[in-house]
Structure 1
């Protein structure tokens, strides 16, 4: 699908919040009202700043709506552009036409953000089933404790389940991001609680950490072949294939 659109601000200056990341799809931008322009004159390839619609979809009677709520690992950051090789995209393809998948992964996102129960979580509430994969940034960038993170996850699940009686919630264990020291301890404590079904209201638990981690006792480290680079623990396309295969077989 190819589309063009024009975004107009109400005033000059900083207007749209955005995350600086390499785009996962090819996109081009130009100043001015260029959405209806036939030629490519004035356009340049978008890099590190891309504004796209929240959702593009169509009516499909009877399809099951599944949303994936997560951070950059869910979003697919660091995988190859236009390859759709991150795990959510591969799962969407594998589920088939009777499912409709909405990837709500957002770079730098935290369970702490979703627990505020505002616009981001309200999108997830539109689905029949939610797959939650949050916690990496709570541990790695904000230093949340295991108790705090588990409380936030419980708040998210309770809010989702309270929005619809027939909603199903799948909670993923927290993928390792090569955590060590105090962060590793939090990661282990939270995952133990998730695996023990300590979060009330969770229907099923998918152990994504087990798929991505090295064998114990080095299970706090990502399998090297799954890293997007030597210094970046974001899962690559090979990891996306491994996770999607495990998920679809489990699902």
Structure 2
């Protein structure tokens, strides 16, 4: 026999023996619970199998209970479940829109990376550079030690009296250093600086040269690039480099002097 859901008008075909007094059914389309045997005023439509028409509209599609499996129709609270709920067709529009959004975002990121990489790098986490051995600042001079310092006046036959300060700069870092530079300062009796001069270590002249060379010749000898690059590059730990600072025509009233390291660079990474 056929029965129609009073709520959504879906038709179902059930065995005749299920139509008993008090029997209820639950529509699997709209979940409406209703009695299988309804009062006459409800106008329950009961039809024979021969009257079923398969040309009905989708809204009135008939659902047939599975043969021989009555337990499958039993729902909650002693009601019967009528048929299988209709499955909605999945739409591919949502996936297509999501794919297009990802494609646009990927294109925008690629364009930003190509045309403005510095802007992209500002928003990326900075990578920590791996370093081996002790880390030192490029111009850290805290562990360059001065030793064997001496000072003296000497008369040059072309310049006159000159003042010389010389000594050794020792590398006490755990890594090599190079281009070590010192600064010598002359002070008066009131500890006021009179004159200061900076000099790269690595080159020096003999006592005889201090006595006979002209001012320009002495300056060229003390700034000899070949000697500086030979002696003042890749200074290994515990090794020393010699320095010499010469003041031409030193001012009167010099009472004391001072020497300090002002620069010590790290060798280039190989």
TM value normalised by structure 1: 0.22
Decide which structure has the larger Cα Rg and report it: 2
Using structure 2 for the length normalisation, give the TM-score.
Answer: 0.20
Q: More strand per residue: 1 or 2?
A: 2
Structure (1/2) with the larger helix percentage: 1
